[in-house]
Amino acid sequence: MAKNPKTKPLIASPDELLRTIFDYVGRIADERDIDQLLILLADMGRDLISADRCTVWLLNRKTKELWSKVAHGMDRIIIPVTAGIAGCVAMTGDSLIINDPYSDDRFDKDVDKKTGYHTRNILSLPINDGEGKIIGVFQAINKMPEPEKFSEQDLEHLLLAATYTGKALDAAILQEEIEATQREIIFTLAETGEMRSKETGYHVKRVAEFSRLFAVKYGMNEEEAELVKLSAPMHDIGKIAIPDSILLKPGKLTPEEWEIMQSHASLGYEMLKHSDRRLLKSAAIIANEHHEKWNGEGYPNGKKGEDIHIYGRITAMSDVFDALGNERVYKPAWELDRIVKLFKEEKGHQFDPKLVKVFLEGLDDFVKIKETYKDEPPVSER
């Protein structure tokens, strides 16, 4: 919920309106995250009509709820579509100017009681998509300065913001749906590959969460850490092309078989490298480089040190930690002390020294993820 940091003139001139709109348009166009987009749109609406607070609600038709992001650092807030003035607007499609909310039965007075805030007036109107369907509600509270009231002119000005908001949200929602589809495809393909090699259970999920934790502790921002998390599950996608006779062999592989097994890294890269999508490009890097070693003795290209992409170095440690800590067809699970000992020994050899330091310093957090996504024991052990 955007709050007005300053008092503006009661009636904005056309030039002032244009300046306000253009001030926000660039920032809104560059924003990909829907949560932060809602905050920017609310800020724009607040500044256009000199309101104390403004909220952009999105309508979830499946759950029959309205939700919004009202401030940085806070969770989303969710209300039933049947609740309050915003719910009424979402249900009816009517714009409302209410300058005496305490006399209106649709107003939820309990919100003010809980927060200590006093609502003097409300302006609320629907947000429509390109097809004219209601996708949300723009709501402003308390015209500034006190004791001014919202007017039809304010409604017209907020309609400008609502019209632009509908288009911006249309594009953002479509982008989010595309990215959600990518994530679903990636996890489905990754799990398919792991099932072939008997890496069942939560292996894919754990590697994703370990990789995100490594990225955050390494110093990446949240957006890049999330990218690593979403890309890491595809590290072994190339195993789809490895014959079962080699992939599922319980004993030691022959040199010829081992050469074929190693090809899964390059095969995975070839599968993914042609996409222009950032997520799949990152997955291609990870597939190709998660078996490279810090000392240059890895495969497929014998890269060394920081020539190995950080995404590959992170996924390598995540994958090894999970593989050692869980039972496989060819070995029992290792105890934590034994894994820690190996990582210390391989610091600067197999693994990036800085990432080993990150792992050791954050060991409790990595173990917590491991315990949260623990595989169920085989039926015979129950």
Tell me which residue of 187, 190, 189, 227 sits closest to 211, measured CA to CA.
Answer: 227
Question: Helices marked H in the chain — which ranges?
Answer: 14-30, 34-49, 84-92, 109-115, 152-196, 203-218, 222-231, 244-247, 255-272, 278-289, 310-325, 336-345, 353-361, 363-372
Residues 107-126 have pLDDT tens digits of 988 888 888 899 999 999 99
Residue 129, pLDDT above cutoff 60? yes
Listed ranges 4-13, 170-179, 204-213; the one with the highest mean pLDDT: 204-213
Encode pLDDT of 333-359 as tens digits: 899 999 999 999 999 999 999 999 999
Mean pLDDT of 8-16: 53
pLDDT given for residue 12 in this prediction: 52
**Domains of the chain, earliest start first:** 2-174 (3.30.450.40), 197-381 (1.10.3210.10)
Q: Model pTM?
A: 0.57
pLDDT at 61: 87
Percent of the chain at pLDDT > 90 equals: 43
Over the stretch 301-335, which tens digit does the pLDDT of each residue have? Answer: 999 999 999 999 999 999 999 999 987 766 788 99
Mean pLDDT of 124-148: 87
Higher pLDDT, 155 or 356: 356
The per-residue pLDDT for 8 is: 46
Q: Rounded to an integer, what distance in angstroms lies between the CA atom of residue 345 and that of residue 339?
A: 10
The rounded mean pLDDT for the chain is 83
Length of the chain: 382
Residue 256 has pLDDT above 70, yes or no: yes
Residue bearing the bigger pLDDT, 294 or 136: 294
The rounded distance, in Å, linking the Cα atoms of 194 and 85 is 50
**Residue 168 has what pLDDT?**
62
pLDDT higher than threshold 60 for residue 199: no
Provide the annotated active-site residues: 239
| Whole-number pLDDT of residue 275 | 79
Mean pLDDT of 204-227: 93
Query: Closest Cα partner for 140 from 104, 89, 185, 184?
Result: 89
Instruction: Classify residue 248 by its DSSP letter.
Output: T
> What distance in Å separates the CA atoms of residue 238 and residue 272, rounded to the nearest whole number?
10
Please check the confidence at residue 191 and state whether its pLDDT lies above 70. no
